[in-house]
Amino acid sequence: MLSILMRPTAKSLPPKPLSKLTLRTTTTTTMKEPQPFDETTTPHADRLIATLDTNPPIKTLRNLHTHLILRSLAADPHTSIKLMRAYAARGDTVTVRSLFDGIPQKTVVSFNVLIRSYVNNGLHREALLAFRDMSAHRARPDNYTFPCALKACSCGGEGFLVVARQIHAAALKPGLDANLYVGNALITMYFKCARSSADARRVFSSMARDVVSWNALIAGLAQKGESVEAVTALKEMVGAARRVEPDGGTLASVLPALTSGASVDDIAFVGGVFDGMRRKVSVAWNAMIAAYVNNSMPAEALMIFNRMEAEGAEPNEVTYASVIPACGDHSALGEGRRVHEQVEAKGLRPNIVLENALIGMYAKCGRFDLARGVFKSMRRHDIVSWTSMVSAYGMHGHGEESLRLFEQMLGSGLSPDAIAFVAVLFACSHSGLLDEGRGLFDRMVHKYRIVPRLEHFSCMVDLFGRAGQVEEAYELIKTMPMNPNDKIWGALLGGCRAHSNTSIGLIAADELFKLSPKESGYYVLLSNIYAKAEKWDKVETVRNVMKIRGVAKAPGCSKVELGKTVHTFLIGDQSHPQSKEIYAELDALSARMKEAGYVTLTESALHDVEEEDKEGHLAVHSEKLAIAFAIINTEPGTPILITKNLRICDDCHRAIKVISAIAGREIIVRDTNRFHRFELGACSCGDYW
């Protein structure tokens, strides 16, 4: 058991590497027979104790502890404290407590370590009880105690405000509120325990400030949803007369204020703060990558990651957990695989967070096989792993598989949460599994007691709408307990379009124009409905309304990865260096497509482009350009993955089916919310999307 500490080589090693040796050999030595005890090779007591500071794994720690007991070294108060700290770092608060109980004379320090152990392991109640017990042991809380006790209150949230105020008052008496650590803990405590930000701000403005104080202020505001105030605070910090340099923590703190919907200016400002940092610690890199990922800027996130590598900063698991989804969002399969290799090479697996991210990344890159490979190779699966796989199947139109997997998850004993149901309901809607979807919704509400959210209703409306039950979908919207959002009405409008229901379609469109008057997609959907009904005057009206309201059509844009680069094409794009060849290839394809009996569907072309462009190159949808580009630049037979920012139009859908047959290519198109896999003239969506 004590073998690792008694290796014959230990004596010849200099003091420093001992801890490394101990750490590194743990896993292997546990397999071996214990080596005979040899007094001459026993490490010096100082070195053993020093090893406690290296955050040893729990097994090593227990060995070490036993060894210290056997050598009567464990009873020393200083050593006890170190042992407590080491056990706390490994989450063993029970042992921490028993070590504490074994200390005959409790000092402030021993209390401080105990309280901190509890707080860091989520036991804030126990921490506060220990704090209360201090007076009975005549231990006076000091500048180390108060920050921990206040942090315990912060973890407890609003219910702990009264206790927290008492602790604040207790800190005032010895004048400890002037201590930076105490002050900073007070800022965070008031943000977490008090409803308004006023108390926190008051503490902040009345004290001396360092970088942590600013970070606490920014984090508190950002987490309270006061995004504008958080960014303003960051600007004040940067422009403050007594300059405080932002650090990685500053960027991490402002991050919640930059989640989806942050202004371009704010993101640029934060990017500027990042660029201006002289020393960039890993948290800074990670936060910047996350900021871009959270704002749908995966290309920028990948650029930061590449810069990080170029500058020799070491990516850690947090970095990978952010950059892997960026690869997925950007459909950068090559980059994703490269990152995956790094994860493997660094031995970061098993790591469920990274593995779950990898599943999602491969699924988004159309590599269902690789997603499944990661899933199968995992040591254990949690709700996120299963949900990732369920939605991977769903996105690829494998509704039945998705359902089977969902049931398998239930069979494994995990209980589904709201997000798992979103995934499986989504899969049902995209495969037209009406009855199954209905049954699942019922089980969700009655068996699992999950209160349906907007997303669930959105799936159900979609499910009914696609299945042609537009009235039932509308009925559901009218009876649901919350206000429908644009996604819900959009799902209804989509159903109306698929099943030519003009009257309900108009109702949906009306609501949508109130909720999202600038969203061009809804106008296009409505005009599609009119076009299908051949109401050309109405089509014209919709177009005019768009002009009057200044609604710009979102330009169709398709991405395709070649080597390390993701190439982007806009509708009618002629800016690519290979533009000539691309259009030549398209012409050649068109000729062969006509031979194969393909005729242009004017209905969809009509509403995505202006009349006069219909025959010209401006009419060429981006996905066709991307496909032609990929055909030219890859070996015959290579599968092609295209990612689109809009829903694929009918004409392109028909055209790509034909192209897949005549070019002999598997073509996978990821549009706004699902995958189309075209092969041999057919699509995996079964023309139902």
Partner DNA sequence: GTAGGGTTAG
The residues in 378-417 that bind DNA, with binding defined as CB under 7 A, are 382-385, 387-388, 391, 417
What's the CA gap between 79 and 71, in Å, rounded? 12
Applying CB under 7 A, among 238, 419, 601, 662 the residue interacting with DNA is: 419
Answer whether 138's CB lies under 8 Å from 169's CB. no
Closest to DNA by CB, 183 or 484 = 183
Q: Does 648 bind DNA (CB under 7 A)?
A: no
Reported in sequence order, the residue ranges of 257-352 that DSSP labels E, i.e. its strands, are none
Closest to DNA by CB, 84 or 605 = 84
Amino acid letter for position 570: L
Q: What is the token pair recorded at 520?
A: 């061009």
Q: Does 643 bind DNA (CB under 7 A)?
A: no
Sign of the Cα pseudo-torsion (329, 335, 337, 341, in order): negative
Applying CB under 7 A, among 249, 399, 465, 484 the residue interacting with DNA is: 249
Closest to DNA by CB, 29 or 385 = 385
- In angstroms, what is the minimal distance from the CB of 676 to DNA? 19
- In angstroms, what is the minimal distance from the CB of 147 to DNA? 4
- In angstroms, what is the minimal distance from the CB of 495 to DNA? 24
- In angstroms, what is the minimal distance from the CB of 364 to DNA? 8
Applying CB under 7 A, among 96, 420, 508, 525 the residue interacting with DNA is: 420
Q: Does 177 bind DNA (CB under 7 A)?
A: no
Scan residues 524-583 and list those touching DNA (CB under 7 A): none
Query: Cα 496 from chain centroid?
Result: 33
Scan residues 356-375 and list those touching DNA (CB under 7 A): 356-357, 360
Q: What is the token pair recorded at 455?
A: 């997303």
Applying CB under 7 A, among 210, 344, 540, 595 the residue interacting with DNA is: 210
Applying CB under 7 A, among 23, 50, 108, 410 the residue interacting with DNA is: 108
- In angstroms, what is the minimal distance from the CB of 115 to DNA? 8
Closest to DNA by CB, 4 or 96 = 96
* Residue 515 CB neighbours (<10 A): 17
- In angstroms, what is the minimal distance from the CB of 234 to DNA? 12
Counting Cβ atoms within 10 Å, is residue 530 exposed (0-12), middle (13-18) or buried (19+)? buried
Answer whether 91's CB lies under 8 Å from 121's CB. yes
Q: Does 437 bind DNA (CB under 7 A)?
A: no
- In angstroms, what is the minimal distance from the CB of 382 to DNA? 6
- In angstroms, what is the minimal distance from the CB of 580 to DNA? 39
Applying CB under 7 A, among 2, 73, 170, 211 the residue interacting with DNA is: 211
Kind and range of the H or E run holding 480: none
Q: Does 644 bind DNA (CB under 7 A)?
A: no
**HSE, side-chain direction, 13 A CA sphere, residue 141:** 29
Applying CB under 7 A, among 26, 41, 107, 408 the residue interacting with DNA is: 107
SS3 content of the chain, % helix, strand, coil (to 5): 65, 5, 30
Q: How many residues bind DNA (CB under 7 A)?
A: 77
Closest to DNA by CB, 38 or 210 = 210
Residues 6+ apart with CB under 8 A from 176: 142, 143, 146, 182
- In angstroms, what is the minimal distance from the CB of 223 to DNA? 6
Scan residues 319-348 and list those touching DNA (CB under 7 A): 321-322, 324-325
- Can the peptide bond before residue 350 be classed as cis, meaning omega within 30 degrees of 0? yes
- Per-residue x/- mask for DNA, residues 131 to 150, rule CB under 7 A? -----------xxxx-xx--
What's the CA gap between 377 and 358, in Å, rounded? 12
Applying CB under 7 A, among 28, 78, 265, 503 the residue interacting with DNA is: 78
Q: What is the token pair recorded at 614?
A: 């219909």
Length, in residues, of the chain: 689
Residues 6+ apart with CB under 8 A from 635: none
- In angstroms, what is the minimal distance from the CB of 451 to DNA? 15
Applying CB under 7 A, among 61, 68, 113, 648 the residue interacting with DNA is: 113
Q: Does 507 bind DNA (CB under 7 A)?
A: no
Closest to DNA by CB, 96 or 148 = 148
Residues 6+ apart with CB under 8 A from 500: 529, 532, 533
- In angstroms, what is the minimal distance from the CB of 444 to DNA? 13
- Please name which of 349, 347, 375, 341 lies closest in space to residue 360, comparing C-alpha atoms: 375
Residues 6+ apart with CB under 8 A from 197: 190, 191, 220, 221, 224, 226, 229
